[in-house]
């Protein structure tokens, strides 16, 4: 293929992405409106839209009633033309969802108490669950763009390699070897990165360019960094591992082998562990803890105050290192915004001569517990946006 042909192909792919993104955002547009909005010729738009209609991701929706004379055809985005599968690995469960092109969840399943040391068996179980979900939803594999995996650790997304996930006890797991299990492409991303991208594309961060997403898990903390609207991974794809920055010299031992890591003091289970140590009572989950906090139980209040101090320290470190426009908090803390956000904000900005609340916005995820798994689902969308899904 000549350089000129390669360049033409790249331009066409970029135009396809722009048109499809615009259609997905606006839902309905005429060819003329698309051409004007994107500064493209009507023939160029027509050719690409015809291909999208042939693929099923766009459809004719009648004619416009807004102009006199020959009324132009209206083109409509078709979110249910294809589906995306996503898998989210956490310490206690593996969650699997099926979504449409808008990342709206159509089916949801959970594998409890997964044995990550028996990965072959676990991946086979995941295969079986995806087949069951697809059968229940009457979805054929030809109508699934791909399956995205959200993984809590250092991920080489291009090779499908999980380099290390301390909290899962995993190291150098080659997920690419499991490609024969699925009749569609596999995609991979760090869970905090996936959550950040989901917030950027689906949540209230849509128009924001510089964002840090703090994903607080039951056992661990990850951060996804968006710079200039793009995910920042770093040279060795390890950017954002703030959970393993030390906030306490010679502190508590961490699964990574170091001591005093932030996540040892600010992961979700720290609240349950702190309460158990003080009372001898093992609460079933964070909801039980925050129920006690809501009635001002003294021990729960004291544990919570200490926890917020540590959570704030780590977020202040992120402020100094990244200087973002926005910091989003999600993960297992998502349901408890009303009890956490304001006291946390006070700790971050009180007596902070470098930052005020006007300098950086501290926000709560709008996607709740779905951020990372929806981000994993969106990985498959890139296939559709860049090239024909029927090719």
pLDDT at 383: 67
In contact, 247 and 310? CB cutoff 8 Å: yes
Considering the chain, tell me which residue range(s) the CATH 3.30.420.40 domain(s) occupy.
83-195+373-386, 206-366
On the question of pLDDT at 68 being above 60, the answer is no
Domain formed by 83-195+373-386, architecture: 2-Layer Sandwich (3.30)
- Which tens digits make up the pLDDT trace of 325-362? 999 999 999 999 999 999 999 999 987 888 888 889 89
Q: How many angstroms separate the CA atoms of 93 and 285, rounded?
A: 14
- pLDDT-derived band at 67 (thresholds 50, 70, 90) equals low
Could you tell me the pTM of the whole model?
0.87
Nearest Cα to 385, choosing from 19, 8, 6, 11?
A: 19
Q: Give the mean pLDDT of the chain.
A: 91
Higher local confidence (pLDDT), 315 or 203: 315
- Which tens digits make up the pLDDT trace of 357-389? 888 989 999 898 899 999 999 999 876 776 555
On the question of pLDDT at 217 being above 70, the answer is yes
Percent of the chain with pLDDT over 70: 94
pLDDT at 295: 97
- The 10 Å CB-count burial string (b at 16+, else e) for 115-149 is eeeebeebbebbeebbeebbeeeebeeebbbbbbb
**DSSP per-residue letters across 283-344:** -SSHHHHHHHHHTT-HHHHHHHHHHHHHHHHHHHHHHHHH--SEEEEEETTGGGHHHHHHHH
In contact, 190 and 175? CB cutoff 8 Å: no
pLDDT at 138: 97
pLDDT at 7: 78
Residue pointed to by tokens 């009324």: 71
On the question of pLDDT at 61 being above 70, the answer is yes
On the question of pLDDT at 165 being above 80, the answer is yes
Query: What are the backbone dihedrals phi and psi of residue 75, each rounded to the nearest 5 degrees, phi first?
Result: -105, 135
Structure tokens of 333? 């803390």
E runs forming strands in 144-298: 144-151, 154-156, 161-165, 170-174, 186-190, 211-217, 220-227, 230-231
Residue pointed to by tokens 């995996």: 149
Considering the chain, tell me which residue range(s) the CATH 1.10.10.10 domain(s) occupy.
3-77
pLDDT at 188: 96
As separate numbers, helices (DSSP H) first and strands (DSSP E) second, the chain gives: 12, 16
Q: What is the average per-residue pLDDT within 72-98?
A: 94
Top CATH class of 3-77 equals mainly alpha
Percent of the chain with pLDDT over 90: 75
Paired sense of beta strands 211-217 and 161-165, if any: unpaired
The side-by-side arrangement of strands in the sheet containing 220-227 is 230-231, 220-227, 211-217, 326-331, 361-364
Nearest Cα to 61, choosing from 71, 74, 48?
A: 74
CATH number belonging to domain 206-366: 3.30.420.40
pLDDT at 66: 60
């Amino acid at each position: 293929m000549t350089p000129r042909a390669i360049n033409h192909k790249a331009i066409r792919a970029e135009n396809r992405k722009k048109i499809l993104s615009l259609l997905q955002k606006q839902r309905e547009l005429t060819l003329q409106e698309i051409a004007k909005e994107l500064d493209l010729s009507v023939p160029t738009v027509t050719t690409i839209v015809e291909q999208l209609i042939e693929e099923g991701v766009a459809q004719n929706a009648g004619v416009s009633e807004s102009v006199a004379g020959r009324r132009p055809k209206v083109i409509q985005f078709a979110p249910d033309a294809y589906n995306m599968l996503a898998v989210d690995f956490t310490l206690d469960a593996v969650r699997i969802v099926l979504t449409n092109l808008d990342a709206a969840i159509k089916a949801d399943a959970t594998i409890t108490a997964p044995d990550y040391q028996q990965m072959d068996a676990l991946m086979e179980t995941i295969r079986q669950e995806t087949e069951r979900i697809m059968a229940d939803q009457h979805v054929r594999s030809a109508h699934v763009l791909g399956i995205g995996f959200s993984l809590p650790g250092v991920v080489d997304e291009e090779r499908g390699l999980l380099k290390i996930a301390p909290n899962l006890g995993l190291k150098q797991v080659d997920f690419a070897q499991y490609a024969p299990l699925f009749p569609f492409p596999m995609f991979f991303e760090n869970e905090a990165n996936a959550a950040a991208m989901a917030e950027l594309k689906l949540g209230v961060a849509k128009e924001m360019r510089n964002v840090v997403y703090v994903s607080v898990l039951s056992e661990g903390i990850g951060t996804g960094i968006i710079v200039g609207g793009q995910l920042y991974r770093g040279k060795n794809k390890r950017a954002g591992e703030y959970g393993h920055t030390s906030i306490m010299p010679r502190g508590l031992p961490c699964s990574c082998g170091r001591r005093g890591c932030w996540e040892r003091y600010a992961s979700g289970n720290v609240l349950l562990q702190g309460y158990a140590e003080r009372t001898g009572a093992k609460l079933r989950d964070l909801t039980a803890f925050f129920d006690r906090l809501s009635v001002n139980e003294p021990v729960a209040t004291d544990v919570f105050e200490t926890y917020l101090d540590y959570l704030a320290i780590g977020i202040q470190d992120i402020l100094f290192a990244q200087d973002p426009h926005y910091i989003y908090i999600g993960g297992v803390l998502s349901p408890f915004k009303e009890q956490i956000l304001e006291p946390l904000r006070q700790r971050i900005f009180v007596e902070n001569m470098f930052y005020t609340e006007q300098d950086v916005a501290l926000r709560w995820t709008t996607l709740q517990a779905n951020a990372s798994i929806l981000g994993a689902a969106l990985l498959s969308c890139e296939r559709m946006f860049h090239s024909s899904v029927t090719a």
